[in-house]
């Protein structure tokens, strides 16, 4: 098999790595990976055209349409961290807790499990401090531990004293023909 390299730092990476464990860069998917097929989840069945609820009926507490195409980007000095809609990501130094731990390896004041970023199915983003030692900040305001705080495009997120990132989160809107657009 050919040796693969990280586009950010040039380090050798494995075919199935999602991020570079040297610099934290998100790695592109390199073609189909042969995996056993699994049955669809309840949410996938619900979102499938013709599946789930009866036409025109919305389930209580369930989304009424597809998951947003929005991706939140945090631009840290060590690299960008992307969080797609409908997912959460732990930020911290512990590789068993955080997929992007390599980005924080050089910062001893960042906790092993520092904060969690969540982007809802409809594209709204929040950050929650996971009872970190040195705090999580949004636009220099401290986030209370265990409390979700909404973040929007242009906000500045800081972990402890020195690890700051600019938030890039496209706003959702609808074009004149009724289609969902970002901008």
Would you call 120 helix, strand, or coil by DSSP?
coil
Q: For the chain, give me the number of helices (H) and strands (E)?
A: 1, 14
pLDDT at 131: 96
Which domain does 122 fall in, by range?
71-173
DSSP 8-state class, residue 80 = E
Q: Quick check: helix, strand or coil at residue 46?
A: helix
User: In this model, does residue 180 exceed pLDDT 50?
Assistant: no
What's the pLDDT score for residue 163?
93
Answer yes or no: is 64 within a domain: no
- pLDDT digit string, tens, across residues 102-147: 889 889 999 999 999 999 888 899 999 999 999 999 999 999 999 9
Under 8 Å between Cβ of 6 and 22 = yes
pLDDT of 66-92, one tens digit each?
Answer: 656 778 999 988 888 899 888 999 999
Please check whether residue 72 is in contact with residue 169, taking contact to mean a CB–CB distance below 8 angstroms: yes
pLDDT digits (tens, 9 = 90+) for 27-68: 776 554 444 555 665 555 555 555 444 444 444 444 445 656
Q: What domain count does the chain have?
A: 2
| CATH code for position 96 | 2.60.200.20
Which residues partner with 82 through β-bridges?
A: 73
**Residue 46: what are its φ and ψ, rounded to 5°?**
-65, -40
In a domain? residue 41? no
Which residues, 6 or more positions from 66, have their beta carbon under 8 angstroms from its beta carbon? 47
pTM: 0.59
87 and 163 co-located in one domain:
yes
Residues 150-159 have pLDDT tens digits of: 999 999 999 9
């Amino acid at each position: 098999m050919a040796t693969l390299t990280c586009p950010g730092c040039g380090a050798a990476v494995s075919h199935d790595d999602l991020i570079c464990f040297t610099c934290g860069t998100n790695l592109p998917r390199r073609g189909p990976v042969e995996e056993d097929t699994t049955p669809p989840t309840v949410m996938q069945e619900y979102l499938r055209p013709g599946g789930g609820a009866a036409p025109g009926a919305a389930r209580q507490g369930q989304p009424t349409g597809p998951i947003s195409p929005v991706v939140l980007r945090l631009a840290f000095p060590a690299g960008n961290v992307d969080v797609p809609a409908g997912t959460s990501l732990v930020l911290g130094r512990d590789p068993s807790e955080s997929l992007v731990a390599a980005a924080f390896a050089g910062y001893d004041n960042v906790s092993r499990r520092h904060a969690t970023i969540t982007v809802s199915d409809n594209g709204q983003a929040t950050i929650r401090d996971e009872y970190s030692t040195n705090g999580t900040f949004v636009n220099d305001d401290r986030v209370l531990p265990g409390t979700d705080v909404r973040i929007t495009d242009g906000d500045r997120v800081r972990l402890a004293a020195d690890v700051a990132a600019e938030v890039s989160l496209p706003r959702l809107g609808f074009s004149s023909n009724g289609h969902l657009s970002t901008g």
